[in-house]
Amino acid sequence: MTAPESIDATECPSDQRLAAWLNDQLAPEEVEPIEAHLESCEACALRLDDLTTEPDSLVERLRDAAGLGGPGAAEPAQDPNLLFGALAMQAGLISAQQFADSCVLWASRSGVSLAELMVDQGWIDQAARQSVEALLAARSPRSTTNPSAETLAGHSATPIAVGETLSHTPLPTEHLRLKHLHSQGGIGQVWLAQDALLGREVALKELLPELRGSKKHRERFFREARVGAQLSHPGTAPVYEYREEAGRCYYTMKFYSGRTFTEAIREAHQTRGDAEDAAPWFDRFFPLLEQFLSVCDTIAYAHAQGIVHRDLKGDNIVLGEYGEVTVVDWGLAKAIPGAGAAASPARLVGESPTLEGERLGTPGFMAPEQARGEMAGIDERTDVYGLSAVLYELLTTRAPFSGETSNEVMHRVEVQPPAPPSLSHPDTPTQLEAICLRGLAKRKATRFASARDLSEAVRSWLTRQVDRQREAERQAKFFALSQDLFVAMDDRGMINHVNPAFLKFFNTTVEDSVGFHYLEDIHPDDQALVNRLFEQVLRGVSQYDTVIRVKDEEGVFRRVSWSLTRVPGEPTLYAVGRPIDEEGERRRATLARAEFFSLSPDLFVISDEQGRAGQVNEAWERVLGWKPEEVEGRPFIEFIHPDDVGRASRAGRKSLLRGPVSDLEMRLRHRDGGYRTIVWSLCRLHGDRINYAIGREVPGGATE
């Protein structure tokens, strides 16, 4: 007789307790609750029928050979053909007799799989075959998985017993029909199903068969459905209904076809080594960063509702075909004590506390407090760590930590700092890497305080990059018009851009110029000088008016006066050159610049050594009310506020003698008698004893 056990008449007993009841092995006080339960539970009554059915000995032997035998079975051979047949039978697709008959046929026909035989006999169709093969793939040895990327959901490694595999037979709910298995996760598997009543495809997620007997996992599965139903946001999948019937726990939700964020990241990184796709880093990863920001917004919304996700990773983010970004798998979601304006979905499920010391999540993406099992330490900053781990995956294609076993990975999460992404991917933007590593800090207080703060940091960085790119495009258009020679190089000295004037002067092509080191065409006697100039520019010291001999396509060295500079914070160096023996080129360049600046919304003025305005553009009339002909030929000083004259004169002399001046703020007289504050940049081009000035009005800078 089995040891007495406290029985709840409302809870379904296990197969072992039912078998003990059938064989009169229970204590008297245990019999009455089970009998009361059987009177009200049709599902358990059906299970009782299965337990009283005499097993087919041949089928039992085939099950054993397929690796689906019970505890007393011999060590399984796990033949994929026999396993396919056993799974098909357990799914209700074939009978035990058909299973036995197909094995006899299969043994007599070499080179044909058991699946093909069953289709040939008309016992299953191709759709059913694909579903069983998906189940077969899902049973592959777990040792092949990546321990850093596998979610720890707290369920044991107990093998699936006979009859526990998910049935492909019709659901008790008549309007839902399973089509095929879509995916399998930590505690559930997702089917594509057809809702016949509303004529739409839905995703049906079901608790894994081997976990149906676990109260803890049923509650966790229900909590996942409840969270999904109560989070109403474009970044979450709406849940339609939840059911527990005929021994099955499942819920339906919107089905998203697409790919995971992890798949999109890997595809973007594959182009890094593709010579045909030499797009800059920003162009390749900008779409992924925008999608990452959508994920941050979704998590920020969940936090506002009092929920943390606890299992953020690229595989739990689905990218739809039409721009949808959806965070899925809320099975480990947890209520934040005292947080959220709305009632916490996790609290509405009932009491199912996670034990202190239980480690849930995906090891490689897990926050240190999760790895230590500190449930009381879980809060919004735990998800900030998870989001930062997703950002790390975006930068590197992998989790922040990896190892041979889950315990090894979690130990590293607790004690080791993550390797900076730039170690493996040198082109990683420095500021974005810093944002990522701050979010992965061991101490929660060092991380961003919220998902919104992390999102704002990334969004601000993106905005700056977009502004710089627009400025670079504007400069490219300007230099395309310029008659001066223009060259852009990286910090190794490799040329990555030249303008048409460069190509024309040296009679060369883009293919023969871009991708080569700058020294290749420098006169040997000038190379040491050029190297010194290059090093100075790398340190942030611009160089002006240096004559360097450069070889053209015919092998003739041409004398060019070069100015070199570098924009702070960018890896690109710029060189602007003017042939020193071609006066006509200077005049044409001046006309081209004048034509270009005449279209500019900014103020533009060319002044001579005496400070007379030689040429201004149309913006003067729009900003200051003066027509160009009213300004040209007059001393520029007449338009400057008396208190700013001295500073303006010093800046003009500095520009003529020492180089460009920027961010010079001056007040200029408006035609109405008032003054407008203008920020100016001044420069002089080699060979010209004149100043070029560009000014932009300061908003709200009008004075009397």
For 76-80, 164-168, 577-581, which range has the lowest pLDDT when averaged over its residues? 164-168
Q: pLDDT tens digits, residue range 453-499?
A: 999 999 999 998 888 777 767 766 767 777 788 888 888 889 888 88
What pLDDT band is residue 157 in, cutting at 50, 70 and 90? very low
Neighbours of 122 (CB within 10 A): 7
Question: How many whole angstroms separate alpha carbon 94 and alpha carbon 102?
Answer: 10
Query: 36 with 74, same domain?
Result: no
Give the end of a domain, one of 140, 166, 196: 140
Which residues are CB-contacts of 317 (< 8 A; sequence separation ≥ 6)? Answer: 260, 261, 262, 291, 295, 325, 326, 327, 328, 390
597-615 mean pLDDT: 81
Average pLDDT, the chain: 78
Is residue 148, in this structure, part of any structural domain at all? no
Determine contact, residues 19/26, Cβ cutoff 8 Å: no
Q: Looking at the domain assignment, is residue 469 inside a domain?
A: no
Q: Give the model's confidence band at 209: pLDDT under 50 very low, under 70 low, under 90 confident, else very high.
A: confident
How far apart (Å, rounded) are the C-alpha atoms in residues 602 and 373? 60
Residue 170: inside a domain: no
Quote the pLDDT of residue 343: 41
What pLDDT is stored for residue 182 in this prediction? 80
Listed range (292-306, 325-339, 536-550) with the worst mean pLDDT? 325-339
Task: Give me 328's structure tokens.
Answer: 């899925």
Q: Specify whether 305 is located in the same domain as 357.
A: yes
What single letter denotes the amino acid at residue 595? E
pLDDT band at residue 160 using 50, 70 and 90 as cut-offs: very low
pLDDT of 268 higher than 80: yes
Residue 151's pLDDT band, with cuts at 50, 70 and 90, is low
DSSP state at residue 647: H
Fill in the amino acid letter for 98: Q
The secondary structure element, H or E, covering residue 243 is strand 239-245
Specify the pLDDT at position 273: 55
CATH number at residue 684: 3.30.450.20
pLDDT at 501: 87
Q: Which residue has the higher pLDDT, 458 or 359?
A: 458
Q: What is the pLDDT of residue 327?
A: 94
Between 451-481 and 583-598, two packed helices, what is the crossing angle to 10 degrees? 130
| DSSP code of residue 696 | E
For 637-666, the pLDDT digits (tens) are: 899 999 999 988 888 778 777 778 888 899
Q: How confident is the model at residue 579 (pLDDT cuts 50, 70, 90)?
A: confident
Task: For residue 262, give Cα distances in angstroms to 316, 318, 397, 544, 551.
Answer: 9, 9, 7, 48, 49
More confident position, 308 or 9: 308
Looking at residue 416, its pLDDT comes to: 94
Q: By C-alpha distance, which of 633, 684, 638 is closest to 661?
A: 684
Other Cβ atoms within 10 Å of 166 Cβ, number? 24
Six-digit token pair at 9? 């008449």
427 and 291 share one domain: yes
Look at residue 477 and tell me if it is in a domain. Answer: no
| Same domain (yes/no): 127, 187 | no
* Per-residue model confidence (pLDDT) at position 165: 36
In sign, the C-alpha dihedral spanning 410, 415, 421, 422 is negative
Contact (CB, 8 A) for 394 and 184: no
Burial bucket for residue 383 (CB in 10 Å: 0-12, 13-18, 19+) = buried
pLDDT attached to residue 169:
46
Asked whether residue 422 is domain-assigned, the answer is yes
pLDDT, mean of residues 8-14 = 69
For residue 186, what are the contacts with CB-CB under 8 A and spacing of at least 6?
Answer: 150, 151, 152, 153, 155, 329, 331
d(CA 229, CA 676): 58
Return all residues near 587 (Cβ < 8 A) that are at least 6 apart: none
Least confident of 106-115, 237-246, 248-257, 263-272: 106-115
CATH number of the domain to which 385 belongs: 1.10.510.10
**Those residues with Cβ within 8 angstroms of residue 308's Cβ, 6 or more apart along the chain or in another chain:** 302, 333, 334, 336, 378, 379, 380, 382, 383
Answer yes or no: is pLDDT of 440 > 80: yes
Residue 90 — very low, low, confident or very high, per pLDDT cuts 50/70/90? low
State whether 88 and 235 are in the same domain: no
Within 10 A of 433 (CB to CB), how many other CB atoms are there?
A: 18
Of 150-159, 247-256, 547-556, least confident by mean pLDDT is 150-159
Rounded distance, CA 258 to CA 250, Å? 22
User: Are residues 389 and 283 located together in one domain of the fold?
Assistant: yes
Same domain, 226 and 372: yes
126-131 LR contacts (CB < 8 Å, sep 24+): 127/179, 127/180, 128/88, 128/91, 128/93, 128/168, 130/180, 131/91, 131/168, 131/178, 131/180, 131/181
pLDDT (tens digit, 9 = 90+) per residue, 364-392?
Answer: 999 999 988 888 889 999 999 999 999 99
With respect to residue 280, please indicate whether it lies within any of the assigned structural domains. yes
* 557-566 and 661-669 strand pairing: unpaired
Same domain, 424 and 321: yes
List pLDDT tens digits, range 306-357.
999 999 999 999 998 888 999 988 878 888 866 554 444 433 333 333 333 3
Residues 367 and 502 in one domain: no
Question: 567 by DSSP, 3-state: which?
Answer: coil
Q: Domain boundary at 581, 614, 629, which?
A: 581
**Within this chain, do residues 303 and 199 fall inside the same structural domain, yes or no?**
yes
From 525, 550, 581, give the residue that closes a domain: 581
Q: Which of 141-150, 416-425, 455-464 has the lowest mean pLDDT?
A: 141-150
Domain around 28: 15-52
| Cα separations in angstroms, 687 against 350, 396, 504, 583, 652 | 82, 49, 21, 9, 16
Angle at which helices 380-396 and 261-270 cross, to 10° = 30
What pLDDT is stored for residue 360 in this prediction? 61
Q: Which residues pair with 485 in a beta bridge?
A: 577
Residues 230, 84: one domain? no
Residue 162 forms part of a structural domain: no
pLDDT (average), residues 413-425:
93
Number of domains in the chain: 5
Residue 695, judged by CB atoms within 10 A of its CB (0-12, 13-18, 19+), counts as buried
Q: pLDDT tens digit string along 225-236?
A: 888 888 889 999
pLDDT at 292: 97
Same domain, 65 and 39: no
Q: Output Rg (C-alpha) for the chain, integer angstroms.
A: 36
Establish if 154 belongs to a structural domain: no
Give the separation between CA 459 and CA 292, rounded to whole angstroms.
10
